Structure 1
């Protein structure tokens, strides 16, 4: 007999060597309580495990882990012990610094399980059953060794996105120009004009939400002379969209 949730073995009435069953339960509890694994990408046991090491077994398990796909393997007493994964288990994955959850027979991120918004360069705010999404996105680039009358970014406002802001920070003092504008071709100061060339100067180039139909790079334009040096970090803040599958 075992317990219904953690499958801890019961000590039977009049059982001989009760310590064996008791110690097995302690080993299982030691592996399951505050569950943390070193990795979840290995399908075969590591060569030199340490006592107490735990892993989520990846698909295609082999060797001592054969048939353990998706379960937790713990090295205890010089051998591998299988911990059968159950719905709702939460595990800290050490090499990813991530908390994951067992749901529907698979390990998924806590954010996916709870529908949370995470910090990322591209975050889904709303999602339909067939994958249509409304996203908030940010792209960042540092333009260095500024030279000439204009400098164009390699990052772009994505096609069919709605731009909200382009922010800037001068990370290295600009020389040659007395100030600069931040904008796009045809509208050089759209996100800010006569911006400071001093190190640390910043600007939030907020605009009314505006749709852009093609990929649109950011252009920095020198005022009072050409750029001869310096660096500016730019960030594009926008809403982006994904159609349904």
Structure 2
């Protein structure tokens, strides 16, 4: 054997001259493929101003330097592009998508988003997706109620809305978290001191219109004079096929 079985790292030969060339080639390949970071996984032409160590996954129909390199990992080092075939089980962080992908017998498959607001659990070749989403917003309280700018999306299935008091609420004794017409849907008579929290789980329930969350004052003047509450929406969102 002249190279390793998986990554193709070249071996030094007995009595070989210029061993440093072979050794450096192996290091360069290992540096590119170990803990692989793909800046983009569908490029067809070499970027104009690459940085040393940049890696891309070449898509079909490559042009210029990338001609005939579809499906390979392009690594820029020492002012030139090198191309490496992926190996079974290789794991890559796809930087522009914030996700992990693993190379399987059927090609690259998404492993899932990394602690992001939207995680794609599965998807089809035509673009249909199943997403689990967690989005949040901090609301400054004033008046009888405030509504969020983030919404429970149309055609989503909501599991709940959680909340935490992040700045002491003034003007009332408690507050409710809900939606218009169902003011206590995700929690009623909630604490106004800093750190008071509630996991407002429901059904789950499907929503058929974009729906903001409403925080409503309760007690005394029935109006907030200050305070902040952070809310988080927890829902499932289907994405229809793209074609």
- Band the TM-score falls in, shorter-chain normalisation: 0.7 to 0.9
Write the distance in 2 (CA, Å) between the matches of 1:38 and 1:190: 44
Is residue 123 of structure 2 the alignment partner of residue 127 of structure 1?
A: yes
Task: Please give the residue correspondences for 1:175-214 in structure 2 after superposition, counting only pairs within 5 Å.
Answer: 175-214=170-209
Task: Please give the residue correspondences for 1:1-245 in structure 2 after superposition, counting only pairs within 5 Å.
Answer: 3=3, 6=8, 8=10, 18-20=16-18, 22-34=19-31, 35=34, 40=39, 43-44=47-48, 53-56=52-55, 66-67=65-66, 70-75=73-78, 80=79, 82-88=81-87, 90=90, 112=110, 115-116=111-112, 118-144=114-140, 146-224=141-219, 225=221, 226-245=223-242
TM superposition shift of 1:43? 2.2
User: Which consecutive residues of structure 1, in runs of 5 or more, have no partner in the other structure?
Assistant: none
Cα 1:98/1:205, change in 2 over 3 Å: closer
TM superposition shift of 1:169? 0.2
Q: Given the two structures, how large is their TM-score scaled by the length of structure 2?
A: 0.73
Write the distance in 2 (CA, Å) between the matches of 1:99 and 1:55: 17
Q: Given the two structures, how large is their TM-score scaled by the length of structure 1?
A: 0.73
Q: Is the 8 A contact 1:88 1:101 kept in 2?
A: no
Structure 1 window deviating more from structure 2 (220-229 vs 94-103): it is 94-103
Write the distance in 1 (CA, Å) between the matches of 2:186 and 2:87: 47
Cα 1:55/1:61, change in 2 over 3 Å: farther
Cα 1:117/1:223, change in 2 over 3 Å: same
Cα 1:7/1:61, change in 2 over 3 Å: farther
Q: Is the 8 A contact 1:9 1:24 kept in 2?
A: no
Write the distance in 2 (CA, Å) between the matches of 1:215 and 1:85: 46
TM superposition shift of 1:124? 2.5
Write the distance in 1 (CA, Å) between the matches of 2:235 and 2:76: 44
TM superposition shift of 1:177? 1.2
Write the distance in 2 (CA, Å) between the matches of 1:94 and 1:216: 33
Q: Which structure has the larger Rg?
A: 1
TM superposition shift of 1:4? 7.9
User: Which consecutive residues of structure 2, in runs of 5 or more, have no partner in the other structure?
Assistant: 41-45
Q: Is the 8 A contact 1:87 1:103 kept in 2?
A: no
Cα 1:121/1:229, change in 2 over 3 Å: same
Match of 2:43 in 1: none
Q: Match of 1:180, SS?
A: strand
TM superposition shift of 1:30? 1.4
Q: Deviations over 1:156-214 (max 9, x none)?
A: 11111111111100000001111101111011111111101100100011111111111
